[in-house]
């Protein structure tokens, strides 16, 4: 079986894990938690990092710390994993859904049009004229590692007093290479950003996430909430309802060992994408998905775009050949919990949802396996020609 994207644990992972077990520091305090946070700060060039139990819990705490309150609306792209809107819903706030652009990220033109024509801003806040609700935040998601075109979003959000909470779950290793955001890493541009270290991500800690920010108050609040809002370690005194959302030393040990290899992983992901671009370029029935030219992509996922009539058939064909692939997510605004939520003119996302196929891109994939993937895709189109 050639899997879609699986972990690569051939570095210091077992050594660091053994150290946790030998020293019996296995829970949510320990040197690896601190070191993992410190190394994420160094790598992404942010000021603060707080390790959390998952990308989802990181998002939930980031939203609370960013000031999202019950009854608010938060703008979320419909083309994202359901964890993004769920994190909003946990706060009893409502995600409202926007279409995606060519790179699968939030459609900036539609977003600006919505904010300019369908919202009202007083001296402090922006309100949705249609629902009457306050829009306190936006969650741009760097889908598949593609950097969101954030420059315009920043300027309109500053004007409208809307806080940017970046979902960079898939984008560790992506940074901007031109414009005002040059050299900034995905996740470090909004007020706060969140990473995921779930098993399929570019680095994994088994499960885990991290809140990254330059804002000291946000970092303090997230750390406080993630540790049960504890204000006295010996007397068990808590000043609000907190959460047990800290990453363990065991998970951090794995995460740290993984982070040591991030540059190699990005290099391999880029190699895989280049391989597919070169080897599939002559097949007219498909396109290897493009990435933004204003950023260095982490190429977390490699994907092809085919005619909707071929999508399911090609996925099944490859599955029969033991090659695992996936379409993009079922869109959030069509998911049962969100069908009644406010959404705007979703068009591109529907098109991409029915035409994109994510193809194998684990960092451990061999050249022979890459050739096998290409050969089988070629074979499918050859058979379908007749």
Q: Which string of b and e fits 218-230 if b means at least 16 CB within 10 Å? A: bbebbbbbbbbee
**Which CB, 136 or 196, lies closer to ligand PLP?**
196
Binding of residue 55 to ligand PLP (CB under 6 A): yes
Q: Does 265 bind ligand PLP (CB under 6 A)?
A: no
The token duo for 186 is 């995905």
Per DSSP (E only), the strands in the chain are: 48-52, 73-77, 94-98, 119-121, 126-128, 134-138, 163-167, 175-176, 192-196, 209-213, 230-232, 237-238, 286-288, 295-296, 302-306, 326-327, 356-359
CA-to-CA distance for 182 and 94, rounded, in angstroms?
33
Cβ-based neighbours of 368, under 8 Å, separated by 6 or more: none
Task: Please state the closest distance from residue 323 (CB atom) to ligand PLP, in A.
Answer: 22
Q: Which is nearer to ligand PLP, 141 or 253 (CB)?
A: 141
Q: Does 166 bind ligand PLP (CB under 6 A)?
A: no
Q: Would you count residue 37 as binding ligand PLP (CB under 6 A)?
A: no
Smallest distance, ligand PLP to C-beta of residue 83, A: 4
Closest CA to 169 of 198, 189, 137, 206: 198
- Tell me which of 209, 255, 292, 360 binds ligand PLP, using CB under 6 A: 209
Does 84 participate in binding ligand PLP (rule CB under 6 A)? yes
Question: Shortest approach of ligand PLP to residue 54 CB, angstroms?
Answer: 3
Query: CB 45 → ligand PLP: shortest distance, Å?
Result: 22
Region 136-155 residues binding ligand PLP, contact defined as CB under 6 A: 141
Angle value at C-alpha 88, between 92 and 176, nearest 5 degrees: 160
56 or 226: whose CB is closer to ligand PLP? 56
Chain residues binding ligand PLP by CB under 6 A are 54-56, 80-81, 83-84, 141, 167, 169-170, 196, 198, 209
């Amino acid at each position: 079986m050639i899997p879609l994207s699986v972990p690569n644990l051939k570095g210091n992972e077992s050594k660091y894990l053994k150290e946790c077990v030998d020293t019996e520091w296995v829970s949510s305090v320990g040197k690896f938690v601190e070191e993992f946070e410190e190394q994420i700060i160094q790598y992404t060039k942010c000021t603060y990092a707080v390790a959390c139990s998952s990308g989802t819990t990181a998002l939930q705490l980031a939203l609370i710390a960013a000031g999202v309150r019950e009854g608010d609306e938060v703008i979320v792209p419909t083309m994202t994993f359901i964890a993004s809107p769920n994190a909003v819903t946990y706060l009893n706030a409502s995600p409202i859904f926007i279409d995606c652009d060519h790179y699968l990220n939030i459609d900036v033109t539609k977003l600006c049009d919505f904010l300019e024509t369908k919202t009202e801003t007083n001296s402090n806040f922006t309100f949705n004229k249609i629902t009457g609700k306050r829009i306190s935040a936006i969650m741009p998601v760097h889908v598949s590692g593609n950097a969101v075109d954030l420059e315009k979003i920043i300027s309109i959000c500053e004007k409208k007093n809307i806080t940017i909470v970046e979902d960079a779950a898939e984008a560790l290793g992506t940074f901007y290479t031109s414009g005002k955001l040059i050299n900034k890493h995905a996740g470090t541009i909004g007020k706060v950003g969140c990473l995921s270290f779930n098993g399929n991500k570019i680095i994994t800690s088994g499960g885990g996430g991290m809140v990254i920010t330059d804002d000291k108050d946000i970092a303090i609040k997230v750390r406080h909430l993630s540790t049960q809002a504890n204000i006295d370690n010996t007397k068990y005194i808590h000043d609000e309802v907190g959460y047990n959302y800290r990453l363990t030393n065991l998970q951090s040990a794995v995460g740290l060992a993984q982070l040591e290899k991030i540059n190699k992983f990005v290099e391999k992901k880029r190699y895989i994408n280049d391989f597919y671009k070169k080897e599939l370029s002559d097949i007219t029935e498909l396109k290897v998905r493009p990435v933004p030219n204003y950023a260095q992509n982490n190429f977390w996922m490699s994907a092809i775009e085919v005619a909707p009539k071929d999508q399911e058939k090609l996925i099944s064909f490859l599955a029969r050949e033991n090659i695992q692939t996936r379409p993009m997510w079922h869109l959030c605004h069509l998911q049962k919990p969100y069908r009644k939520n406010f959404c705007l003119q979703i068009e591109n996302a529907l098109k991409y949802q029915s035409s994109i196929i994510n193809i194998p891109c684990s960092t451990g994939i061999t050249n022979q396996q890459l050739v096998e993937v290409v050969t089988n895709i070629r074979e499918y189109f050859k058979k379908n020609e007749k």
